[in-house]
Structure formats: structure tokens, C-alpha cells
Chains A and B, each alone.
Chain A
Amino acid sequence: MHDDIKDSLLKKSRATRSEQRGRIISLTCTAIIVLIVISIFYFVASKGLATFFSNKVNVWDFLSKSIWNPGSTDSHGSPQAGALPMIIGSFGVTLLSAIIATPFAIATAIFMTEISPNKGYKILQPVTELLVGIPSVVYGFIGLSVVVPFVRHTFGGTGFGILAGTFVLFVMILPTVTSMSVDALRAVPRYYREASLALGATRWQTIYKVVLRSATPGLATAVIFGMSRAFGEALAVQMVIGNAVLLPHNLISPASTLTSVLTMGMGNTVMGSAANNALWSLALLLLLMSLVFNLLINKIAKRGRI
């Protein structure tokens, strides 16, 4: 016997079925993203670790030696993969550009939130937003046609090198760090400022002793975020750094970064060779550094919340 009422009571309703479908669809989309992240780690690590396991390069040698010629072997028979020049180059441009950009970014952010929150904010906010969106190759091109000749005329040398890379990255991370600093300063409650001013503090004393202090975690996050962008930037730096895999003698001698060597080299090596594996080890190093930056940001955010 066919019983409509019984059927409708025992079967899942249309709404329940659509609900289940929806849950499965949205969960699948999320799973895809997690899967991508896991496979990025898996593939980069399996390629990058091959240098140490199948090509028998000592990890310490990789980090501390300065001869990068992974296509040929040294006296012990393992490839000459010393990544120190690139590591120094990457950290050099990252730290120097962050050191220059931080005061500029924070001062501009203070200007936008404390000194001129109406007029200054209205002018600077859209401009920084726009500059965040400028593609990095455009920064590289400007670096090539303005910064490199400028460095060459002022300091001598070829103009290519860590100094040029620093200038380009400084301009590149400036808008990002500024807009994040603005967010951090705006998150400071208004009554902090009011309390400080009511105690007779001047505006500068309020900014310096109250606003900046309570926004410190946010500002630190902004700077570290800028550093992680600078560390991972590839093409803009590659165009102005000179691409010489040598320990940099000074700021204006051609150098290289992890990203620049990867950009130049990956197309010229055969998959699976020692030279290629060594490049993947550099990629793995980049990946790990971005993890470290991420971890630092999380740590600071957690501490700031308490």
C-alpha cells in the first residue's frame, strides 16, 4: 500500500535535503583550500628536502657557506649549495627597508588619525589604498628607471644592489604598513585620549605616552606584515638587485635574494637535478620564513588582546 502521509513523515523534507546539500557544498569548498595548503607544504618540502637527503648536502653548509654552484660538486662529492649570500641579501633588504619604512609609516598614520583626521585622512586614505594595489613589476620598473640611476650617480658602482632593492621595497611596503598602522591607531579607544588630555597632557604627550603605547601590538603587527611582504617579494627586487650570487661587500655591489635566484634559476635547471633541488630548498626556506612571520604576528596579536 502506498501511503502519502507515512512517506512524507518518514522521508527527509525538501528543506532538510537542501540543508544537507548546502553543508556538503560549503564544506567541500573549505576542504579544497585546506588541501591546497597541505599539498603546497608537501610538494615544496619533498622537493626542497631532496637536497639534504638524496644529494647529501649538509644543512649547516647550506645555511652558512657562501659558494652557490649547485651544478658542480665540492671535494666531498656533494653539490656546492651554500645559500648564505641569498640569505644575507634577503634579510638585508627586508630589515633595511623595514627600518626606513617604519618611522615614515607610523608618522603618517599618526598624522592621519591624530593630527588631521578629517582633511589629511581624506587625502591620504584613498592614495595609500591605491598604492597598495600597484603591481610589483611596476615598482620594479620604476626602480630600474629611477632608483638604479640615482644610486649610480650618488654612490657610484653599477647602481644595482642591496641599496636599490631597499629603496624599492621601502616604497612598496610603505602603503601597506601605513594603512595597517592607521587601523591599529584607530582601534585605540577615544576615551584614552580624552582622559590624557583632561589630565593636562599636550597632544604630542597624549600621542607619545598613551596612543602609541596602547597601539604597540598593532603597530608591531603592521611592521612585521610589511617585512613578510618584503621578504617574499620576487620580481621587483630581482630587477634592481643585480643578481650576482656573491656575498655583498657593501650596499651598492650587486647581490641576490632567495626570491631573485629562484626567479632566475628555475627555468634554467632540469627537474630532479641537484641544481634544481637546491633551488627548491631555497623555496622551502622562503616558505618556512613566511611561517615564522605568521607565527610572530599571531603571537603579538594574542599578547595584545590581554
Chain B
Amino acid sequence: MNSKKWNTVATGILYFIAGVMILILAFLLIFILWNGLPHVSWHFLTTPARSFQTGGGIGIQLFNSFYLLFLAMLISIPISIGAGIYLSEYAKQNWLTSLIRTSIDILSSLPSIVVGLFGFLVFSIQAGLGFSILSGALALTVFNLPLLTRNVEESLNSISESQREAGLALGLSKWETVLRIIIPEALPGIVTGMILGAGRVFGEAAALIYTAGQSAPALDFTNWNPFYIASPLNPLRPAETLAVHIWKINSEGIMPDAAQVSAGASAVLIIAVLIFNFGARFISSRVYGKMTGTK
């Protein structure tokens, strides 16, 4: 066979594999949505789960997921922005900086179960927080920090050097230049990274089973005092999230309609991830337009 024929054969094979890939991916999405969406209703999204009967919902788990996401982002966003600024603006090329970069690399490649066990040991047991939203949020912060930091650093690095020089020439300090000139310009990239990070956190389970716990006590949605034990806002109550719920009902196998509930919950998770993905694109283009005046 000559090289031209080989070329045709290889191209054919590549088309075939790409087709198979698209089929696999399409199958995944369609399977989840097809099986899950029929179970998703307002009732399903708002009622508490039932362990031994059919007809339970995911109301509390859904609320827990969002609350945990909110708390985790509240802690991790300021830290990651500060660290990103340091790495992009202040860090010199020396051993200390390379040590910092290496540790961020290591942290980002740690298995999430190890992060969860670390959180269990340090936040739940040694700090005495027990299985609570707060220790879950701290574990998620550990899990999320390296990626957010790297994203902030990359977004800041992409801003041209002349902007920094312009700020300094106006008599601003470096810090003021960063806060008033560089960060606003880098905001689309930073926001996109934050939203994608939020999507990752939303579906995380392994880091949470031993920190936020695997139980979802009944909540009293009329009392929003954060110190009341059944209050939705109480950060010290155990909180099973949606992703943990899917894992738990499948591995325990006592819920009679576990398959239906997990199909519905999976569909909700996927839709949330879709929203986060599209939201990231949409917001970044909006923010970019606003900041640069192109829209």
C-alpha cells in the first residue's frame, strides 16, 4: 500500500474514533437527562428525602449544596485573589516562589478523598467542628484554592505590562495599580474561573462525606436565625449535599426508589453544571464588554 492509501485509511480511522467519542459523550448526556428529567418536578426539588419509602425529594440536599457552595466561595475567593496577586505581581524568581508554585501544584493534584480525610482530621475532629457545613466549606476551600489561585494569576499575567507602567507613572503605588487598574481589566477571566470553580465544588462529594457529613437533618425554613439548631443558615449542622446524597443512596441500598431519585438528582447536578458553564461564558463576555466599553 502506498502512502496515499495509508493517508485515506488513517483519516477514515480518525473520523471513526471521533465519531465513537461523540457517541459516547452524547450517550452520557442523553442517558442522564432522559432518565432523570421525568423525575424532576417542583415536588421533587422541594420535599425532604425519605429513607425507607418512595416519593422522597432532594429539597434539603439542594439547599445544602448551594449554602455550602456559597460559604466555600466566600472563604476561598479572597484568599485566592490575594495569593494570585502575590504570585503575579510581587513574587520574585527565587527558591521561595518555586516552593510556593510547587506546593500549589501538589495541592491541585491531590485526590479529593485525601483532602476530605485531612478536613475530617483537622476541621471535624481537632478543631471540634464535627460533621458540619463549616468543616465542609473549609475542606472545599482547600480543594478549590489551587485552581482558583492559578486562574487569578493567569488572568493577571495576561494584562499588558504597559497598564502597570501607566499606573505607576500616575503616582499610584503598585498595590493601588493592581486594585484599581489591573484587577478590573482582568475581571472577566477571574469571574469565569470562579464560576467554573463553583461548578466543580458543586459536584464534589469525596471531600465532603467525612466533613459535611452524610445526614440531612430536617430544617425549619421559617427560622433563619443562624444560631438556631434547625435553622437552614446554621453553619454547624451536618449537611448532606446533592452529590453525597447520590453516592449514599446508591451504596446503602435501603431506599426503595434509589435509582429514580439518583437519576433525578444526577439530572439536577448536570443541569447545574451546564448553567455554571454557560453562565461563565455569558458573564465573562458581559463583564468584558462593560469593562472595555465595546458593548
Which residues of A are in contact with B by a Cβ distance under 8 Å?
A: 15-16, 18-19, 21-23, 25-30, 32-34, 36-40, 43-44, 47, 103-104, 107-108, 110-112, 115-116, 120, 123-124, 127-131, 133-138, 140-142, 144-146, 171, 174-175, 178, 201-205, 207-208, 228, 231-235, 238-239, 259, 262-263, 266-267, 271, 280, 283, 286-287, 290-291, 293-294, 298
Of A21, A235, A266, A294, which contacts B120 at CB under 8 A? A266
- 5 new A-B pairs (CB below 8 Å) besides A26-B82, A266-B210? A22-B179, A127-B25, A135-B205, A145-B259, A239-B250
Chain B residue, CB-CB nearest to A260 = B113
Is there contact, CB below 8 Å, between B28 and A131?
Answer: yes
Given A23-B175, A44-B118, A137:B203 Cβ within 8 A: yes
Given A43-B122, A142-B31, A235-B247, A127:B22 Cβ within 8 A: yes
Q: How far is the CA of A47 from the CA of B126 in the complex (A)?
A: 13
Q: Is B176 an interface residue (CB 8 A)?
A: yes
Which B66-124 residues have C-beta < 8 A from chain A?
A: 78-83, 85-87, 89-91, 99-100, 103-107, 109-115, 117-118, 120-122
Chain A residue, CB-CB nearest to B104 = A33
Is there contact, CB below 8 Å, between B250 and A290?
Answer: no
Residues of B within 8 A of A33 (CB): 79, 83, 100, 103-104, 107, 145-146, 149
Given A202-B4, A235-B206, A263-B209, A133:B174 Cβ within 8 A: no
The contact sample of 20 A-B pairs, CB cut-off 8 A, is A15-B172, A21-B175, A29-B81, A30-B82, A32-B79, A34-B100, A37-B107, A43-B121, A104-B17, A108-B17, A133-B203, A134-B203, A136-B206, A202-B7, A205-B6, A208-B10, A233-B111, A266-B120, A287-B110, A294-B109
Is there contact, CB below 8 Å, between A123 and B32?
Answer: no
Count of B residues near A, CB < 8 Å? 93
Of A47, A130, A205, which contacts B3 at CB under 8 A? A205
Is there contact, CB below 8 Å, between A263 and B90?
Answer: no
Given A27-B90, A239-B251, A18:B175 Cβ within 8 A: yes
Is there contact, CB below 8 Å, between B90 and A29?
Answer: no
Residues of A within 8 A of B257 (CB): none
Q: Is B171 an interface residue (CB 8 A)?
A: yes
List the 7 closest pairs (A to B, CB-CB), nearest first. A135-B203, A232-B111, A22-B175, A29-B82, A26-B86, A202-B7, A19-B173
Q: How far is the CA of A207 from the CA of B22 in the complex (A)?
A: 22
Is there contact, CB below 8 Å, between B277 and A130?
Answer: yes
Residues of B within 8 A of A112 (CB): 18
Q: Is B218 an interface residue (CB 8 A)?
A: no
Q: How far is the CA of A112 from the CA of B15 in the complex (A)?
A: 10
Is there contact, CB below 8 Å, between A231 and B247?
Answer: no
